[in-house]
Every structure is written in C-alpha cells, then in structure tokens.
Structure 1
C-alpha cells in the first residue's frame, strides 16, 4: 500500500476497487482478515478525514493532547526494531491514524470463536494481527519517507501499542513488541 489506494475528499472516504479483494477483503473469508485488512484502512482513512476538522492553534487543549499522542508514538518508533535499527523521523497524523484505525478494527471485528488449526494455537485474534500487516508487504526497502513511516513501522508500531497483541503472541514485558510504556490513544 505505497500509493494512495484509499483517500478522502471533503467528508467522503473513497476506496479503490483494487482494495476490495484478497488479501484485504473477501466475502468468503473470516471476519478477522476482512477487519484487519479493509476495516483497518477504512478506520485509518476516517481518522484522517476527521483530523481536518481539528482546531488549529485555537484550542491548545486539543492541540496539546494531539501533540502528546504523536510524541508518544515517536518514542515507540524510536525504540522499535528487532534488527537494532532506530527510526528517526517525525511522527505524523497518518501514523496516529494507523494506530487508531487498527484499534477500532480490532475492537469491532465479530469473533466467530473459531480456531484455525488442530492444536488451537491459531486464534482469530492472532490471524487478525498477522493479516493487519499484509497491506504493508513489499520488497525490502530502506527508503526514507516524508509521509507515513516505513512499511515495517506501519505494521509494528500499532501492534506494539496493543496489549491484546502482546497477550496473543506471548511477548515478554519490555520486549521490542511489548514496551512497558504504551500510548493512550483512544
């Protein structure tokens, strides 16, 4: 998802038909995949659309709260990286929308109570988290981006901020994917 496949104009979110197919959506798929794929994108774009209505420099309360959330995400990005690399870039509203969109999609996907393998080790929740990163798959890239973070950061930082992810994958406390300090976004 390196180019704009979903966007908003005025108060409308537009989804290109190329997104309404596997692996982001399939009418025959389980809810976890559809909500992690297309649901996350819809949530993210809705947040971006709504962000245009935030007061600018008028209400310091809103601005301060937003700045604090962006600062917190920036700290998560700067400690992220199992490969030992740090990402040093300014966090944008797009990064915040990635996190909020994923949290909204996770909160709203209907659980069907299914396990996806014989030993019950693959839950719908695990599949949701894995599927949430499909849209960021690309050939390895070290590009420096001015907009949203690298695909790796866009996959990992929202997951790092979710206790449910750490629980499902048994991430140790203070591990790179389960930092002690998580950002209070919603």
Structure 2
C-alpha cells in the first residue's frame, strides 16, 4: 500500500510540474540560486513524445474495428504522451538549487530525485564530465543523457531516498548541470 501511495504521489508531482511549466513557474526555488539541467535532454524528450503520438494514431487505426479496445488504448496512449511531457516539464520547473543562506544544495531530477546536501558536508566539488557507469556502493549518479558534469565528494554520507522509498547512504554524488562551471564556482563561494 505504501508503494502505491508513493507512485500516486509521484504521478501527482509530474502533473503539477506540467501545470507549472505551462504557466512558466518553477517549484521550490525561493531564496536560492537555480541551476538547470534540462537543456541536454529536450531533443530526446521531444523525440520520445513524437514517437508516442505516432503510436497513438497507429493504434487508433489498427483498433478501429474494436471500439472497447480502441477506447482503452486511446486513453493509455494519450496518458503516455502526457507523462512524457510531464517528465520534461518536471526537469524544467525543478532545477538544482543552491541555497547559501540555508546552507544546502538540492540536487533534483524529474519529480523523483530531490537530494539535500548540506554545504558543510561537501569536501570537494569539481566539474567532471563522465559517462554513466555501473552503480557503486556509496555513490549516486543523477545523469542526464547518460552523463554527469559535476562531482561532489562528501565528508560524511547523506541519505538518498529512492522513488519507492528505499534508503541508501552516499558519499559521492555525480550529477548533470547545464552550467557546471558556474555551479562549481557558486558552491566554492557559498562554502567560504
């Protein structure tokens, strides 16, 4: 039951992100400096959305002789298109957030990753372009387009909670930021 609640909450966050995107608002960036990460995935998400839309039309043509199946697949396919748009929207409206006053860096991705890293736990921050690799114990890769551009090494672990509620402690966090150099510089200034 708890897993179902978490999944429903995730879907609601996605739909809220879509609504915020349509009115050009961001979520949870008051009092901090936002760093986007969606630029590198826009073309891919548009491509996936286009393929989903084509599939919706194709299924409508294939199932026109079976009205009940046609209705079911039309609803599912249309919802699939909405979810693809909402995932991209959540990346745009939920940027990474450096809150120097609050002493934390929020690393986010879509509507399911929101990791708060206290600034005092950051041992080093560097710009480092890496392609995604196998998951290692104590490390978290929050990639976009299978790459990360910033690496944080922590003095003590922070707890990452997955979409389904599993907890794991991480000491190294790699993530993507469109302006990785600016983010690393801002982190250096905030930690002084």
Q: Same fold (TM over 0.5)?
A: no
Q: TM-score, normalised by structure 2?
A: 0.27
Larger radius of gyration: 2
Given the two structures, how large is their TM-score scaled by the length of structure 1? 0.28
Q: Which has the higher strand share?
A: 2
